[in-house]
């Protein structure tokens, strides 16, 4: 009875902590989103054509100065650089640690608002994910959460941050499992969903107006076979463009690092690109959502100009991300895919295959295409677009186009972008690691290890048990030592095998 009551207390505490994580991610993720929305009006002023030359010189100098300050901030607090999704994945896996999460949270928040707000082609979702993970880490520290609870709370915080960024709780939960974790767990899924619903609700309250809510979508009145061929064509185009995006992103990132110019001059080059983009195509700066909305609401346009905007946005995003400043890729990818869908629709209109009123239909389908192609998370891409727009009439067409994109992407060998970014982070950080990493696992009910003796357990790789804690005390280990439920194992895992074996021990401990 005492053990049962203790478990109930632990579960009640964990649910309470999950709610706190959802609230933190919802409040600060929504505040972050509100500030970025306000920044659009600042950019309108910054890039106004009726201002004198001296005004624009000051604007350019200020943008450069802010970017340089944020760059040096990322050197002082390294885990705030870039997207935030690979960093959060590393924290969930136990490879990275947020040593000073409050300092890192404040740095990431300010750095991301500054960089994305001034117009670099980066998205809000990666910083939102990391903000949620920072919150989960702070809450775990404050309430002395167990290692297993920390992992669940960090995962829930990451998903809840994404939910706040797009007001999309279901897609965010799926993205956590499909892309970030790479494993299916009922426990982590339900925990994350709870945090995502809370964060999404807070986001809906703080940002009640959905910019996609007034969109009118008309399905094309054409032969189903012709529509199928159009969807296949859009899917093929999305895969090819995804390959181009992948190539541009990683090659420009490598070139930016290898070019032996002073960093402040390389940053100046990106700032000049941002400034020129702001002067000529303001709506395409930052995430580019304003340009996407404009194209969705319009049934006309020049096909080749919009195709040109797609290419410009890809190159602009790749250059922006190569700096290592704060910001992510998902929103630019959604915008690129939407513009691709619009250009494709206009091409079909020009050939008298569909009517102009159906342009928004293909634009919304296109929004999921680049996500599927580059991120390699088809279910997340589908659900995120549906939750953002509420246009469930495109559900089946989106599945067809997304499936074609995903399958061809495999043949084109497009790696999942966030997994590759994570692997690059791990490679860059290897100099800071010992040969092995120590991490903790708690043996749960129905674990394979419960009742097993130490001599009967063959650990994979060169893994070793550092210590076992039972009821708060270290236990002496020998061959006849028998594992029990709630034992806390500290395992020493070879660094090069860490992620692979981490999943193995999750399964063995029934986490």
Q: What is the dihedral of CA 236, 237, 239, 241, to 10 degrees?
A: 170
**pLDDT digit string, tens, across residues 281-313:** 999 999 999 999 999 988 889 999 999 999 999
Interval 378-404 mean pLDDT: 93
**pLDDT digit string, tens, across residues 406-432:** 999 999 999 999 999 999 888 877 666
Residue 327 structure tokens? 């910001």
**225 pLDDT exceeds 60?**
yes
Please give the C-alpha separations between residue 451 and each of 148, 445, 480, in angstroms, as whole numbers. Answer: 20, 11, 11
Interval 478-490 mean pLDDT: 85
Interval 107-115 mean pLDDT: 97
Q: pLDDT value at position 169? A: 96
The closest alpha carbon to 443, from 462, 469, 463, belongs to: 469
d(CA 295, CA 282): 14
pLDDT, greater one: 470 or 507: 470
Interval 465-475 mean pLDDT: 85
d(CA 92, CA 183): 12
d(CA 461, CA 495): 11
Q: pLDDT value at position 7? A: 44
Residues of the chain with pLDDT > 90, as a percent, come to: 68
d(CA 511, CA 229): 45
Interval 150-165 mean pLDDT: 94
**pLDDT digit string, tens, across residues 65-96:** 999 999 999 999 999 999 999 999 999 988 88
**3 pLDDT exceeds 50?**
no
Backbone phi and psi for residue 473, each to the nearest 5 degrees, phi listed first: -125, 145
**2 pLDDT exceeds 60?**
no
What radius of gyration do the chain's Cα atoms show?
Answer: 24
Model confidence at 1, in pLDDT bands (50, 70, 90)? Answer: very low
d(CA 224, CA 222): 6
Model confidence at 184, in pLDDT bands (50, 70, 90)? Answer: low
The three-state secondary structure class of 506 is helix
Model confidence at 451, in pLDDT bands (50, 70, 90)? Answer: confident
Interval 377-396 mean pLDDT: 92
d(CA 391, CA 17): 34
Model confidence at 475, in pLDDT bands (50, 70, 90)? Answer: confident
Q: What is the mean pLDDT of the chain?
A: 91
Alpha-carbon dihedral sign for residues 327, 368, 157, 505 = negative
**pLDDT digit string, tens, across residues 241-293:** 999 999 999 999 999 988 888 999 999 999 999 999 999 999 999 999 999 99
**203 pLDDT exceeds 60?**
yes
**pLDDT digit string, tens, across residues 40-53:** 999 999 999 999 99
Q: Residue 204: exposed, middle, or buried by beta-carbon count in 10 A (0-12, 13-18, 19+)?
A: middle
Q: pLDDT value at position 432? A: 62
């Amino acid at each position: 009875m005492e053990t049962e009551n203790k478990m109930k207390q632990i579960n009640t505490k964990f649910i309470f902590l999950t709610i706190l994580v959802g609230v933190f991610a919802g409040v600060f993720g929504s505040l972050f989103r509100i500030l970025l929305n306000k920044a659009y009006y600042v950019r309108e002023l910054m890039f106004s054509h009726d201002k004198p030359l001296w005004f624009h010189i000051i604007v350019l100098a200020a943008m450069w100065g802010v970017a340089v300050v944020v760059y040096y901030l990322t050197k002082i607090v390294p885990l705030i650089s870039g997207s935030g999704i690979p960093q959060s994945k590393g924290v969930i896996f136990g490879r990275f640690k947020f040593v000073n999460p409050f300092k890192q949270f404040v740095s990431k928040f300010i750095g991301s608002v500054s960089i994305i707000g001034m117009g670099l082609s980066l998205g809000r979702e990666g910083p939102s994910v990391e903000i949620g993970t920072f919150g989960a880490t702070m809450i775990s520290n404050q309430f002395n959460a167990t290692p297993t609870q920390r992992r669940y709370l960090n995962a829930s915080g990451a998903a809840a941050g994404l939910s706040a960024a797009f007001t999309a709780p279901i897609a965010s939960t799926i993205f956590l499992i499909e892309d970030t974790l790479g494993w299916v767990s009922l426990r982590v899924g339900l925990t994350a969903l709870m945090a995502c619903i809370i964060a999404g609700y807070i986001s809906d309250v703080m940002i009640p107006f959905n910019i996609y809510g007034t969109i009118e979508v008309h399905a094309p009145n054409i032969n189903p076979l012709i529509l199928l061929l159009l969807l296949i064509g859009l899917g093929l185009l999305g895969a090819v463009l995804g390959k181009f995006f992948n190539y541009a992103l990683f090659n420009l990132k490598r070139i930016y690092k290898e070019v032996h110019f002073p960093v402040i001059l390389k940053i100046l080059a990106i700032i000049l690109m941002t400034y020129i983009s702001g002067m000529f195509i303001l709506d395409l700066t930052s995430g580019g959502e304003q340009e996407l909305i404009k194209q969705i609401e319009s049934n006309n346009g020049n096909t080749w100009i919009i195709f040109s905007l797609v290419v410009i946005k890809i190159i602009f995003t790749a250059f922006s991300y190569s700096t290592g400043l704060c910001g992510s890729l998902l929103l630019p990818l959604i915008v690129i895919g939407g513009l691709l869908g619009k250009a494709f629709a206009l091409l079909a209109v020009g050939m008298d295959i569909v009517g102009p009123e159906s342009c928004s239909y293909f634009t919304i389908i296109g929004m999921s295409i680049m996500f599927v192609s580059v991120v390699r998370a088809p279910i997340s891409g589908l659900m995120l677009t549906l939750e953002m727009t509420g246009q469930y009439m495109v559900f089946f067409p989106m599945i067809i186009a997304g499936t074609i994109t995903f399958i061809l992407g495999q043949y084109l060998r497009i790696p999942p972008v966030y997994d590759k970014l994570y692997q690059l982070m791990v490679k860059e950080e290897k100099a800071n690691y010992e040969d092995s990493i120590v991490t903790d696992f708690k043996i749960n009910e129905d674990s394979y290890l419960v009742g097993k003796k130490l001599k009967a357990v063959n650990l994979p790789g060169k893994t070793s048990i550092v210590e076992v804690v039972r009821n708060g005390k270290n236990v002496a280990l020998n061959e006849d030592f028998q594992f029990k439920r709630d034992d806390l194992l500290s395992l020493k895992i070879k660094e090069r095998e860490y992620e692979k074996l981490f999943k193995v021990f999750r399964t063995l401990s029934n986490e």
